[in-house]
Amino acid sequence: MTRTAIVTGGASGIGRAIAAELVRRGVQVTIADIANAERTAKELGCGHAVVDVTDAAAVRDLAEEVKARHGRLDFMFNNAGIGIGGASEELTLDHWNRAIDVNLKGVVHGVTAAYPIMIEQGFGHIVNTGSLAGLTPAPLMLPYTATKHAVVGLSIALRAEAAAHGVRVSVVCPGFVDTPLLDNTNPGLPQTEVARRARSTAIKAQGRLYPAEAVARDVLRGVARNQALIVTPASARAVWRVVRLSPSLAIRVAGAAFRRFVS
């Protein structure tokens, strides 16, 4: 029987790459996004829905529609997200609320839509997109960092519960990836120097940006292995290792990076 998947934020970036890789592997994919969903779906040869992940009812309706149409929902990729950048004193409650609404509540809406379906059918895999910033003391983007830490915590705690129902949960924590997110930081919000320099800062920090297509392959490899945390690329795993071995060192390094940026 053909497997099915929903990919939020599937019209561009990591979401598009995951959707393309799933289609290539024979999965019946529905991409959900607020813009360009139909165009991307035509390019990939999959289904689409215009959905804002901040709308819980719309996300729930999509999950129920896919289950009704195909008789199952195998994968829920809660991938939609936005970038927020700036020194904390520059950021307003609008920056914080937007990050929480999209990056955290968007994931919550996807989980609460898909999880009951997967419990009922006795199988399924929820894959939430976090970030290396959700595992490290990442400065200059605190709303983003906070929401991604929350996504990691949500995912690993849900994984502990979900196993009893035959449902799997993974969280993806990529480093800097070559996606439009780096060119559209603080979307619709007051801009900052950090936001304007997001791409160049990412390149300086990581050396080179990891391709979204490589992330997609890493993600699906991790999903096949039922990994709890999928951290990619290797440079991100190295940073994560430092954080686990010496949190105080990681904080000092982050503080030095902050001082270099603002000096």
- The question of whether 210 is a catalytic residue gets the answer no
Angle (CA) 27-32-38 rounded to 5° is 90
Angle, CA of 117, 153 and 65, to the nearest 5°: 20
**Hey, is 231 helix, strand or coil?**
strand
The answer to whether the beta carbons of residues 110 and 46 sit under 8 Å apart is no
Whole-angstrom Cα distance, residue 79 to residue 76?
9
Compute how many other C-beta atoms are within 10 angstroms of the C-beta atom of residue 89. Answer: 5
Q: Which one is catalytic: 144, 176, 210, 240?
A: 144
CB 178 within 8 A of CB 210: yes
Whose CA is closest to 139, among 194, 197, 207? 194
Q: What is the rounded CA–CA span in Å between residue 256 and residue 242?
A: 15
The residues, any chain, with a CB within 8 Å of residue 142's CB and separated by 6 or more, are: 88, 91
What residues are annotated to the active site? 144
